[in-house]
């Protein structure tokens, strides 16, 4: 039985090769990287003790560096089990849940026709390429030069030009003995009822060939050269070869980039052809684009075939945010463990082409590094710009979030989304002063004021006002006592190390962009700081690396954080941690931040270890294992002593200096 190349490629796309091979081998845990689809095992084709057999889901290939065997899904089954090729295809089709095609003369005829149509499309692509380089293409070449494209890039993407003539392509193909029916079947001419004589679909346009997963030309996109053209971009109509919602521009090249020597981490979906091409020229080869429409379920599935967490990149303007929100709704029902998406929002008014044209790929890489999770985007969509000053509005927010989570089909993912929503709502509704609920901008902190309480608690003094009143207690009071509910009359201030970390970034946002992954991943115990941190990262993502302290402070005040910022500033000044204030030079702030972060990580690690030991101790006690209980108690005491030591270190106020006892400058009062 003969299978079409299209059917076989589709099967390989549907079934990861690791699923086929994993039934016959045991993956090596140390060398295997499941998240990257990179697997190692002892070779099943020859005896060995160390794993030299390698397979990659992204390539759909395996190779043994010991005996040299290599191949794809089908070859593995044929060579290992000696089964006929047809049986190997049947097994993989069963895994994919796809029925084998029945012998059908009509199907075979269509496959032959399809191959012929691909040949016709390739002829058309060559014609457009020749036209671009000829006298007719002078304006188009000038336009591409203005866009910064090199000759090599134009050649790589086979860019071309469709002449401003009704019949140029049709006549060329006819001269190559291509039939009228084939030209029409390729969608290269406009024809049909009411059209006496067909004519070229693409005229006076720069042409972008669209390739299949097998890198065959299956369609075109054309950008109009005339400023008054009805459609700036025009795609081929749907044909036997082309289904617009099932294809991604640059799919095959991006897939190769993920499995190449450089090993790009993920695939990036941008909005247009030129974005993809400009990024490729700048060295970002793992970008794709939908074809002039919003991302579809089929296109999202293609992204997930390449990587477990693609990045969707949108313009930072209103249209881009709306498109991102549509993508949130598109992705939610299909989430699974290890399968999600992230969102990167470009600076307002910029597209990827703009970012890389002048300064290379670095600005774009920073945008991608700041990509937000789907859960963050959902939260942003429902809360940003809203006011939640009544129980009814807060209940409506909760209902919308729960309704969105309810669309997730996977039970485990849905459970964790609901848990995440509960935690976010708890922090949001219990924030200091609830200044954002009333939608008012509280003043004072940004101008160096004493932190008056804003929003709905402004009239009676919220937590910020109570904390600020602690100034009268004097500097001799320890930070731990200052944070005590007995002194403040309210919930405790954050731990000093957490306050230092958060406020240093507020006063020196440059540090956030220097080590974004490390800094943005900080986990705060304080609910207040969790909420502040979430909104701070949102502002940073929207503003980009040019964000300065004044702009960030103003944005946070607008979001209702004036009382919290005032109390953090007061706490930091009592502790004389001057490197966290605006007066500190960037180098001093950087050093102080590094020391605070090291203390924070060490404390978090010890607290986690203490919890684990307490769990083990409870289990050993239940099992009446006296020896284990004794050992665990001794270890727990050692950990607790270290926790206490760090807490005491944090509580030292006089001469505290950057959480290390060294003062780099004068204490500010």
CA–CA separation, 619 vs 624, rounded Å?
9
CA–CA separation, 550 vs 559, rounded Å?
14
More confident residue, 438 or 102: 102
For residues 453 and 433, is the Cβ–Cβ distance under 8 A?
yes
Is residue 536 packed enough to be buried (19+ CB in 10 Å), middle (13-18) or exposed (0-12)? Answer: buried
Per-residue pLDDT averaged across 156-182, rounded? 93
Per the structure block, which two tokens stand in for 262? 């450089």
pLDDT tens readout for residues 25-81: 889 988 898 877 889 999 888 777 788 899 988 888 999 888 888 899 999 998 887
Residue 261: which pLDDT band, with cuts at 50, 70 and 90?
very low
Please report the DSSP string for 539-593 in residue order. Answer: HHHHH-TT--HHHHHHHHHHTT-HHHHHHHHHHHHHTT-GGGSTTS-HHHHHHHH
pLDDT tens readout for residues 274-330: 999 999 999 999 999 998 778 999 999 889 888 889 999 998 777 888 899 999 999
Q: What pTM was estimated for this model as a whole?
A: 0.56
Q: What is the pLDDT of residue 100?
A: 84
CA distance to 76, 143, 265, 281, per residue, from 358 (Å)? 48, 17, 24, 12
pLDDT tens readout for residues 516-538: 767 777 888 888 898 898 889 88
Residues 293, 299, 34, 339: what is their CA dihedral angle, to the nearest 10 degrees? 70
**Helix, coil or strand: residue 199:** strand
For residues 184 and 191, is the Cβ–Cβ distance under 8 A?
yes
Task: Measure the N-to-C terminal CA separation of the chain; round to a whole number of Å.
Answer: 85
CA–CA separation, 637 vs 534, rounded Å?
35
Smallest CA-to-CA distance from 570 within 499, 635, 656 is with 499
Per the structure block, which two tokens stand in for 140? 């188009």
* Backbone dihedral angles phi then psi of residue 343, each to the nearest 5 degrees: -125, 125
Q: Does position 661 have pLDDT exceeding 50, yes or no?
A: no
Percentage, residues of the chain above pLDDT 70: 83
Please report the DSSP string for 128-146 in residue order. Answer: HHHHHHSGGGHHHHHHHHH
Radius of gyration of the chain (CA): 31
Using DSSP bridges, classify how beta strands 61-64 and 53-56 pair: parallel, antiparallel or unpaired.
antiparallel
Residue 540: which pLDDT band, with cuts at 50, 70 and 90?
confident
Domains of the chain by range and CATH? 5-96 (3.90.580.10), 104-242 (3.90.980.10), 246-429 (3.40.1360.10), 455-661 (no CATH)
Average pLDDT, the chain: 80
pLDDT tens readout for residues 77-135: 988 877 888 889 989 999 988 888 776 656 556 666 667 889 999 999 999 999 999 99
pLDDT tens readout for residues 631-641: 777 777 777 77
For residues 588 and 579, is the Cβ–Cβ distance under 8 A?
yes
Q: What is the pLDDT of residue 249?
A: 95
Q: Does position 172 have pLDDT exceeding 90, yes or no?
A: yes
């Amino acid at each position: 039985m003969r299978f079409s190349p299209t059917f076989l490629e589709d099967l390989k796309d549907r079934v990861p090769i690791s699923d086929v091979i994993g039934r016959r081998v045991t993956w090596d845990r140390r060398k295997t990287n499941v998240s990257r689809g990179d697997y190692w095992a002892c070779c099943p084709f020859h005896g060995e003790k160390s794993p030299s057999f390698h397979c990659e889901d992204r390539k759909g290939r395996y190779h043994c560096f010991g005996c040299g065997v290599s191949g794809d899904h089908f070859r593995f089954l044929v060579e290992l089990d000696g089964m006929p090729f047809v049986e190997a295809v049947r097994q993989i089709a069963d895994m994919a849940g796809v029925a084998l095609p029945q012998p059908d003369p009509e199907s075979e005829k269509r496959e032959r026709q399809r191959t012929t149509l691909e040949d016709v499309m390739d002829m058309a692509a060559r014609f457009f390429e020749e036209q671009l380089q000829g006298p007719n293409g002078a304006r188009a070449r000038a336009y591409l030069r203005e866009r910064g494209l090199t000759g090599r890039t134009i050649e790589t993407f086979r860019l071309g030009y469709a002449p401003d003539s009704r019949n140029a392509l049709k006549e060329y193909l006819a001269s190559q003995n291509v039939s009228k029916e084939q030209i029409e079947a390729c969608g290269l001419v406009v024809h049909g009822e009411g059209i006496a004589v067909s004519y070229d679909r693409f005229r006076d346009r720069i042409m972008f060939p669209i390739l299949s997963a097998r890198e065959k030309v299956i369609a075109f996109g054309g950008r109009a050269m005339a400023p008054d053209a009805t459609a700036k971009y025009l795609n081929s109509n749907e044909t036997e070869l082309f289904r617009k919602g099932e294809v991604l521009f640059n799919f095959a090249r991006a897939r190769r980039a993920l499995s190449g020597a450089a090993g790009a981490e993920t695939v990036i979906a941008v909005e247009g052809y030129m974005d993809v091409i400009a990024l490729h020229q700048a060295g970002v080869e793992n970008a794709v684009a939908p074809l002039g429409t919003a991302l579809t379920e089929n296109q999202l599935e293609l992204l997930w075939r390449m990587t477990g967490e693609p990045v969707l990149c949108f313009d930072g303007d209103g249209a881009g945010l709306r498109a991102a929100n549509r993508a949130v709704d598109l992705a939610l029902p299909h989430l699974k463990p290890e399968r999600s998406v992230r969102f990167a929002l470009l600076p307002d008014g910029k597209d990827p082409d703009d970012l890389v044209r002048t300064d290379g790929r670095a600005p774009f890489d920073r945008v991608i590094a700041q990509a937000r999770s789907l859960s963050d985007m959902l939260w942003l969509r429902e809360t940003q710009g809203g006011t939640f000053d009544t129980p009814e509005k807060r209940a409506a927010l909760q209902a919308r979030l729960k309704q969105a989570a309810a669309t997730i089909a996977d039970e485990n993912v849905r459970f964790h989304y609901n848990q995440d929503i509960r935690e976010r709502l708890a922090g949001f509704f219990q924030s200091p002063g609830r200044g954002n609920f009333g939608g008012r901008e509280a003043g004072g902190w940004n101008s160096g004021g004493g932190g008056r309480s804003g929003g709905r608690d402004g009239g009676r003094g919220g937590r910020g006002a109570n904390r600020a009143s602690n100034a009268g207690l004097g500097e001799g009071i320890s930070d731990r006592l200052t944070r005590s509910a007995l002194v403040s009359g309210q919930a405790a201030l954050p731990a000093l190390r957490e306050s230092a970390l958060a406020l240093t970034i507020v006063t020196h946002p440059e540090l956030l962009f220097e080590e974004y992954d490390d800094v943005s991943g900080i986990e705060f115990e304080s609910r207040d700081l969790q909420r502040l941190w979430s909104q701070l990262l949102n502002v940073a993502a929207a503003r980009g690396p040019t964000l300065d302290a004044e702009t960030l402070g103003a944005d946070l005040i607008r979001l209702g954080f004036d009382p919290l910022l005032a109390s953090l500033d007061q706490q930091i000044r009592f502790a004389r941690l001057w490197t966290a204030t605006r007066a500190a030079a960037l180098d001093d702030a950087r050093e102080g931040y590094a020391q605070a972060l090291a203390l924070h990580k060490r404390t978090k690690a010890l607290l986690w270890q203490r919890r684990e030991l307490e769990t083990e101790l409870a289990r050993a006690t239940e099992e009446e294992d006296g020896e284990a209980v004794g050992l665990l108690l001794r270890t727990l005491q050692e950990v607790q002593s270290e926790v206490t030591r760090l807490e005491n270190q944090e509580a030292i106020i006089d001469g505290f200096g950057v959480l290390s006892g060294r003062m780099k400058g004068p204490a500010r009062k």
